[in-house]
Structure 1
């Protein structure tokens, strides 16, 4: 049996594509590599969607216009982004929530004290797992055929990048069009090792990485498309959404609760008890995803977040309790750090702090002078017992190497778009995210391009022209 559209993947982007294709009248088969109980890839760990809006709008307060959203994205990526596709994502984020609600997604009322995200981000009631369950229910109700435990290991691609068939567990599945939404390669240790190599200390940094999301994102199809079919690529294989997470987190699927959010309220030291970056350079939702990469560059890929009693209550509590001590020297000993080096670093930091009006909701005037790296905001001496320490490791969410695409979400070969092969989600996020991250933008990309890819795959299967604004 030939299907109209086959969607490869089972997370947010794949589901958006499957739903849009089915709504357009196409028969849809969705192939999810994971078993049913682990379906959904990394989307189950998400919480929110970053949304443009020009005025207060249902669950969003104030305004978050296109230009501010673009400037936020430009800042975190350092310009490593395709502005056309970024602005397409931003515009699509303004209009997708009604469609999401129609498929059973519910949003929380605006959150008070939520570190600036009540204005910029719409939170899913029940988190990403509830969103996935809603989409799967809607897909089944609409007649999308879903197969679990169905990893696609290769594709047949004809001339000019035309999709012919997918191979699943030895079975050949044909379709008139295909959407690739099978995630990145963050769970593939061998590929991570190849990408990062050894550092100047002879270490293999990726051996110490933890994977915040699914173990099923092995990058099999991504590598197949790049190496076997010569699809146009985008992104640096070492760039990823990487967060500093609790070193006690599990190897896979630790999710949001393993994140340590107190970094901007204290200092972060490496294994040598030295600071290595400005902990207060910007609000946490804009800068939290740089810290995984920063820790990855340190000896042993370890960091240590240090705070005192003044910081308690100003950040989302960690799921694991921190190491507690009544003196800084005792804390250093409990963390296994050289006490003399630790005390020199903390004494220098405390002496460099300049009094100001501490306010963690604004870029305040509490800063350091005379030390490097500086702490430019929220710098207060760490002097009030008890003291807390959290050991950190790099936590990888998803990788940015992917397939180059355009406004139609078509996969490109030698800079020519395929007529019937499309891509969405983490497999193409590097078009928008060359590096860096800001909270909720991954779901914005997946939702926008999932909807575009699904709509255009349906058009291709039904012999209609492409649309640029399927979202």
Structure 2
């Protein structure tokens, strides 16, 4: 028997879609390309959800009203965002947590030093992996059918309407039909060839993408995204070089390093390239609003590498990374250990130190410690790096997810020639570029995935149930759905 709704993907957005579709009375089949042990995509590496709230709410302190949230998003994207869809996400973030709790997600106050986001972000107890596991447990209990190691490589579409998906199960091709479909299969960040094509070759003859590390899953290769864009002419949005790209420890693994590989001391020191020169304002804004630009900044430097330099005054003021930094008793010794040109490095540090105008240092506020007469300036938290021992961290670009995606609207429908599909919807990273043209602010990816996953699931269920002639099942109980879907995919 044909399931009402097919969900392609296995992360937060896909699970939200599957749960909402099932709650709306639809039978649901979810296809996850990864093995069960690696299910959940990038969502397993998340920690929190950015939430609008007009007053204190359980784990959220003070208030974070819609307009402030919107201004934060507007600033980090530089205006490359759809305000209507962005505000939809913002408003949805204010009322989703009770629903999340109903599916087993628990929240906790942020730990000490968690990026100053106690006011803006709700942290998952147990992190993203616990959230993913809770959603899968709830989906199974409700009768959502789940198949692992079932990558979908193409779908059939007729005049903008979804017909069937083609996947591989146990090495065998399989065609699965459904009355409606939700695409939530992620971006293309783990597709090295596509990254290479997008970034091309720079003026130094380098292929920057060759030096990128992938913070998240190895399974987001963008196969369906490319298929929809190239083979079906789906409307696209976003720049293929734009991504949630963070400066991470250069010693991080190629895939799945996650949050612990991030280097969070950038705003408390200086960053130099392999030539020993600074290249951007390290104190431009609070770290949660700027950390996701630094991967791109490092990607533009020679060899796609940078070095975060701090002294002992910074210790204890940032979340410590998983790997210890390179330590030295003097700055020339640190330069030597990092393999940097000592003379240029010392000229850079001496110039910076002399330019510091130290006022009332406060790493929790936009303080008045700044530089004068040096380019680039450091606008906040500028203090001389003069107190040993000194520490250095080599940085590489860490790609979390890409922003090129499918153009959609507030119904989450996939669009073809500016016309919305009647039964094909999209959520999560595959459409995040509608809200994130560039830049990032902590927790907003989960806000987008949750909002659009729920919208896509609801609308897919409505489209599927409206199309049934006669209805596929008269008994829509979880047990009846489960038994029927078992026959459908046996």
TM-score range with shorter-chain normalisation? over 0.9
The superposition leaves residues 175-212 of structure 1 with CA deviations (integer Å, 9 ceiling, x where unpaired) of: 00000000000000100011000001000000000000
The answer to whether the 8 Å contact 1:115/1:361 transfers is: no
Q: Which residue number in structure 2 is paired with residue 167 of structure 1?
A: 166
What is the DSSP-based 3-state SS (H/G/I as helix, E as strand, rest coil) of the residue aligned with 1:250? coil
Alpha-carbon offset, residue 113 of structure 1? 4.5
TM-score, scaled relative to structure 1: 0.98
- For the 8 Å contact 1:241–1:437, the answer to whether it is kept is yes
Deviation at 1:321, TM superposition (A): 0.3
1:467 maps to none
Matches within 5 A, 1:214-229: 214-229=217-232
**How far apart, in 1, do the equivalents of 2:116 and 2:144 lie?**
38
Q: What is the aligned partner in structure 2 of residue 38 from structure 1?
A: 38
SS at match of 2:64: coil
Q: Is the 8 A contact 1:240 1:397 kept in 2?
A: yes
The aligned residue for residue 65 of structure 1 is 65
- Partners of 2:449 and 2:325 lie apart in 1 by 34
Q: 1:211 aligns with which of 214, 229, 232?
A: 214
Q: Does 1:316 align with 2:351?
A: no
Q: Which residue of 2 aligns with 1:339?
A: 342
Q: Residue 7 of structure 1 contacts residue 17 of structure 1 at CA under 8 Å; is this kept in 2? A: yes
Query: Which residue matches 2:244?
Result: 241
Which residue of structure 1 aligns with residue 464 of structure 2?
461
Q: Deviations over 1:1-49 (max 9, x none)?
A: 3110000000000000000000000000000000001100000000000
Does structure 1 residue 231 correspond to structure 2 residue 234? yes
Q: Is 2:372 the counterpart of 1:372?
A: no
RMSD: 0.9
Structure 2 equivalent of residue 143 of structure 1: 143
Whether 1:294 and 2:293 are equivalent positions in the alignment is no
8 A Cα contact 1:12 1:43, kept in partner: yes
Matched, 1:362 2:365: yes
Q: Give the one of 219, 240, 261 matched to 2:264.
A: 261
CA displacement, residues 317-337 of structure 1 (integer Å, 9 cap, x when unaligned): 010000000000000000000
Give distance in 1, aligned partners of 2:43 and 2:365: 30
* Displacement of 1:116: 2.4
Once the two structures are TM-superposed, the CA of residue 355 in structure 1 deviates from its matched residue by 1.9
On the 8 A contact 2:113/2:317 being kept in 1, the answer is no
Q: CA deviation at 1:58?
A: 1.0
Query: Residue in 2 aligned with 1:385?
Result: 388
TM-aligned CA deviation for residue 114 of structure 1 = 3.2
Conserved? CA contact 2:114–2:319, under 8 Å: no
- 1:112-146: CA deviation from partner (whole Å, max 9, x where unpaired): 54332000000000000000000000000000000
How far apart in 1 are the matches of 2:373 and 2:363? 22
2:486 corresponds in structure 1 to none
**In 1: Cα distance, 2:330 partner to 2:245 partner:** 32
Residue 122 of structure 1 aligns to a residue in which SS? strand
Give the corresponding residue for 2:132: 132
Alpha-carbon distance in 2 for matches of 1:351, 1:425? 47
Quickly say closer, same or farther: Cα 1:46–1:110, change in 2 above 3 A: closer
Q: Tell me how far 1:111 sits from its aligned partner.
A: 4.2
Q: Indicate conservation of the 8 Å contact 1:49/1:121, yes or no.
A: yes
What is aligned with 2:487?
A: none
Shift of 1:87: 0.2
TM-score (norm 2): 0.94
In structure 2, what is the equivalent of residue 284 of structure 1?
287
For the Cα contact (< 8 Å) 2:89–2:448, is it kept in 1? yes
Residue 354 of structure 2 corresponds to which residue in structure 1?
351
Once the two structures are TM-superposed, the CA of residue 109 in structure 1 deviates from its matched residue by 2.5
2:274 to 255, 271, 274: 271
- 1:219-273 CA-to-partner distances (Å, cap 9, x unmatched) read 0000000000000000000000000000000000000000000000000000100
Tell me the distance in 1 between the aligned counterparts of 2:126 and 2:50: 17
**1:77 alignment counterpart:** 77
Q: Does residue 1:305 correspond to 2:305, yes or no?
A: no
Match of 1:442 among 440, 445, 463: 445
Contact 2:263–2:321 (CA under 8 A) maintained in structure 1:
yes
* Bigger shift: residues 80-89 or 111-120: 111-120
C-alpha separation in 1, matches of 2:164 and 2:2: 9
